[in-house]
Amino acid sequence: MLGIGNGVALELELELKLEFEFEFELDGVLESLFRWCFVWHVWHVRGVWRAVRLRRRVVADSGLV
């Protein structure tokens, strides 16, 4: 038979389980967000660096330097 104590323990266990799963999901979201920001940053820096190299090449080929 379930007593009052068992019901409270079950409710607390369920609450802790839901809280843990929520934190796990939140960690997954934060990890995905961090990964996306890192990839965007690397892509952006590579694009800027590529544009700088291209401009240097164009200026060097034009004979202005």
pLDDT in tens, 26-56: 777 788 888 889 989 988 988 888 999 998 8
What is the percent of the chain where pLDDT is above 70? 65
What is the percent of the chain where pLDDT is above 90? 0
2 — pLDDT class (breaks 50, 70, 90): very low
6 — pLDDT class (breaks 50, 70, 90): low
Burial class (CB in 10 A: 0-12, 13-18, 19+), 22: exposed
- Which tokens hold the place of 4? 């009052």
Domain positions in the chain: 1-64
* Mean pLDDT confidence for 56-65: 80
